[in-house]
C-alpha cells in the first residue's frame, strides 16, 4: 500500500468495545455477560471452564436458527453490575468474580471462568470490572 493522498474515513471503535461473530443456535440478550466459547464464537456466559469473557452485550443477537458466525454481537468492557449468587461480600473486593450464568457472578472458581475483578458490593448486586 502507499501513503494516503486524500482523506480517509478510518473506522474506529470505542475503547473496550468488541465485535465478535456469534455461535450458532444461541440467543444473546442485551445486557448479558458474553464469552468466547471453545470454538472462539460469542455466546451467553455459562458456568464452565476455559471461557474468555468479552464484555456485556450492547444489543441483542438472535442466532438460534443460524450457524457459527451468521450473527455478530457488540460488547463493552469496564465496570458492570451483576446479580450476586449470594456468596460475595465486601471482603471479596479486589478479588476475582466467576461466572454462574449470563447475569450472575460468584466468588467460587470451581467449574467456572473468570469474569473480572470485584470492584464493589451493593445490596442490588456486585460491580465487576471486565478488562
pLDDT digits (tens, 9 = 90+) for 71-109: 999 999 999 999 999 999 999 999 999 999 999 999 999
Residue-level pLDDT at 105: 99
102 phi-psi bin (left φ>0, alpha ψ -120 to 50, beta other): alpha
25 phi-psi bin (left φ>0, alpha ψ -120 to 50, beta other): left
Residue-level pLDDT at 1: 80
Residue-level pLDDT at 12: 87
Q: Which parts of the chain sit beneath pLDDT 70?
A: none
Contact (CB, 8 A) for 68 and 117: no
Cα-based angle 34, 38, 42 (whole degrees, multiple of 5): 30
Amino acid at each position: 500500500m502507499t501513503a494516503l493522498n486524500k482523506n480517509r474515513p478510518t473506522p474506529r471503535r470505542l475503547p473496550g468495545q468488541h465485535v465478535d461473530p456469534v455461535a450458532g443456535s444461541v440467543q444473546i440478550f442485551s445486557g448479558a455477560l458474553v464469552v468466547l466459547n471453545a470454538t472462539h464464537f460469542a455466546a451467553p456466559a455459562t458456568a464452565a471452564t476455559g471461557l474468555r469473557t468479552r464484555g456485556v452485550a450492547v444489543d441483542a443477537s438472535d442466532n438460534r436458527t443460524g450457524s457459527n458466525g451468521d450473527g455478530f454481537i457488540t460488547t463493552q468492557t469496564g465496570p458492570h453490575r451483576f446479580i450476586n449468587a449470594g456468596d460475595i461480600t465486601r471482603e471479596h473486593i479486589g478479588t476475582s468474580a466467576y461466572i454462574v450464568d449470563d447475569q450472575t457472578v460468584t466468588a467460587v472458581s470451581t467449574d467456572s471462568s473468570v469474569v473480572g475483578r470485584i470492584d464493589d458490593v451493593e445490596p442490588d448486586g456486585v460491580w465487576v470490572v471486565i478488562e
